[in-house]
Amino acid sequence: VRNQQILMAARPVGLPQPSDFSLVETETPPVNDGEVLLETLYLSVDPYMRGRMSEAKSYAAPMQVGDVMIGGTVARVLESKSPKFTPGDAVEAYTGWQRYAVTPAKGLRKLHRSLPLSTALGVCGMPGLTAYFGLLDVCQPKAGETLVVSGAAGAVGSCVGQIGKILGCRVVGVAGTDDKVAWLTNDLGFDAAFNYRRHPEPFKTLKEHCPGGIDCYFDNVGGPLTDAVFGLINANARIAICGQISQYNNTKPELGPRLLSTVLVRTATVRGFLVFQYLDRAAEGYEKLGAWVKEGKIKYQETIVDGLENAPQAFIGLLQGVNTGKMLVRVSAE
Ligand SMILES: NC(=O)c1ccc[n+]([C@@H]2O[C@H](COP(=O)([O-])OP(=O)(O)OC[C@H]3O[C@@H](n4cnc5c(N)ncnc54)[C@H](OP(=O)(O)O)[C@@H]3O)[C@@H](O)[C@H]2O)c1
């Protein structure tokens, strides 16, 4: 099959540019035993990809110039040499930014169509699991506690805040546009939210929204907002470091206040986590998230960009906050 792939053409410096990507045409290899040929329906663009494009040491090896851009996909099985799949099945795969892929059947998640297929990359996929396990296992919120979520209108953050409401917390969200703030408070049930771009010194605003202090903080962005949160944490607060997107395009580390004394005197816990640590409990997460979505307890939005060739622009837009909810690229019609 004639394929189209998007490669990393150069390592980005700062915010990625369209010239850091190139589109090439190739042939898919033959399908061997135990493999399937997939046609990509949706591909996911995610903040972690910025890390993989850089050479810096991380939890996974960096991509090399000339590699196909990595990433999660929802795809249709076109040909199968595995007893587990038949043509027409829909799967979640990790085949990256390309129109077709030949991949081992092992490790694919078969999707049942009780929910829209695209949710397998968002609210009922990796971002949903990140929200579920990060909040429950790291923040361990209790009813009545105050939970602050940064990056609150994104794929992970919007899910975190709604799970916080299901658990009976007071939830305060921080996001980057007034429309996003309105979505959080009017549609998702957040108790309060504010636009950090309008509050460059967020301490005072946070204090107004969190009169009883902050018990849990789910951090997606880092930077000055996170510094402000530390000033308001209660005794035994739990802080989940999920992401630091405000830092991902920095060419040198940003310097901030030294906050470890606050962690000490409030006997707080600050813990980084990776969703992959919870792979053995993924089924539990998928089941819970799927049930909450079907019951209408978790609502979600997707920002969908059409066309494989527009994936670089979708990714750059994600890093600039163009998306509300999960950012996806539709490669082929369902
Ligand atoms: N630990 C894990 O295993 C794990 C797994 C998945 C994701 N993550 C992390 O979780 C975070 C959210 O990921 P996601 O997939 O849900 O992405 P997302 O929140 O849907 O999209 C990224 C959002 O980040 C915000 N943003 C961009 N630059 C910012 C800045 N300088 N300051 C504050 N906000 C900024 C933008 O929204 P605004 O308009 O609000 O600025 C943008 O929409 C990321 O940091 C990601 O790396 C971690």
Q: What is the pLDDT of residues 211-227, one digit of tens each?
A: 999 999 999 999 999 99
- % of the chain at pLDDT higher than 70: 100
The pLDDT value recorded for residue 50 is 98
Q: Is 103 in the pocket of ligand 1 (CB under 6 A)?
A: no
Task: Compute the distance between CA of residue 95 and CA of residue 71 in angstroms, rounded to an integer.
Answer: 6
122-139 average pLDDT score: 98
Task: Compute the distance between CA of residue 284 and CA of residue 277 in angstroms, rounded to an integer.
Answer: 14
Ligand 1 probe mutation, 126, 221, 227, 281, most atoms within 8 A of CB: 221
Res 42 pLDDT > 90: yes
Res 66 pLDDT > 90: yes
Rounded to the nearest angstrom, the distance between the alpha carbon of 34 and the centre of ligand 1 is: 36
274-298 average pLDDT score: 98
What pLDDT band is residue 67 in, cutting at 50, 70 and 90?
Answer: very high
Rounded to the nearest angstrom, the distance between the alpha carbon of 151 and the centre of ligand 1 is: 5
Rounded to the nearest angstrom, the distance between the alpha carbon of 220 and the centre of ligand 1 is: 5
Res 201 pLDDT > 90: no
Res 238 pLDDT > 90: yes
Rounded to the nearest angstrom, the distance between the alpha carbon of 46 and the centre of ligand 1 is: 8
Q: CA-based diameter of the chain, in Å?
A: 62
Rounded to the nearest angstrom, the distance between the alpha carbon of 170 and the centre of ligand 1 is: 22
Rounded to the nearest angstrom, the distance between the alpha carbon of 248 and the centre of ligand 1 is: 10
Q: Is 262 in the pocket of ligand 1 (CB under 6 A)?
A: no
183-195 average pLDDT score: 98
43 in Cβ contact with 331 (< 8 Å): yes
290-294 average pLDDT score: 98
The pLDDT value recorded for residue 54 is 97
- DSSP per residue over 175-196, as a string? ESSHHHHHIIIIIS--SEEEEG
CA end-to-end span of the chain? 19
Rounded to the nearest angstrom, the distance between the alpha carbon of 243 and the centre of ligand 1 is: 7
Q: Is 159 in the pocket of ligand 1 (CB under 6 A)?
A: no
Q: Is 47 in the pocket of ligand 1 (CB under 6 A)?
A: yes
The pLDDT value recorded for residue 71 is 98
Res 44 pLDDT > 90: yes
Which amino acid, 39? E
- At 85-97, the pLDDT tens digits run 999 999 999 999 9
The pLDDT value recorded for residue 134 is 98
The pLDDT value recorded for residue 169 is 98
Task: Compute the distance between CA of residue 197 and CA of residue 321 in angstroms, rounded to an integer.
Answer: 11
Q: Is 44 in the pocket of ligand 1 (CB under 6 A)?
A: no
Res 288 pLDDT > 90: yes
Q: Is 245 in the pocket of ligand 1 (CB under 6 A)?
A: yes
HEC-encoded secondary structure of 124-135: CCHHHHHHHHHH
What pLDDT band is residue 103 in, cutting at 50, 70 and 90?
Answer: very high
Residue with CA closest to ligand 1 atom 19: 154
Question: What would the two tokens of residue 252 be?
Answer: 């040198």
Q: Is 221 in the pocket of ligand 1 (CB under 6 A)?
A: yes
3 state SS of 305: strand
> To the nearest whole number, what is the mean pLDDT of the chain?
98
For residue 276, which atom of ligand 1 is closest to its CA? Answer: 3
Res 163 pLDDT > 90: yes
Q: Is 248 in the pocket of ligand 1 (CB under 6 A)?
A: no
Q: Is 303 in the pocket of ligand 1 (CB under 6 A)?
A: no
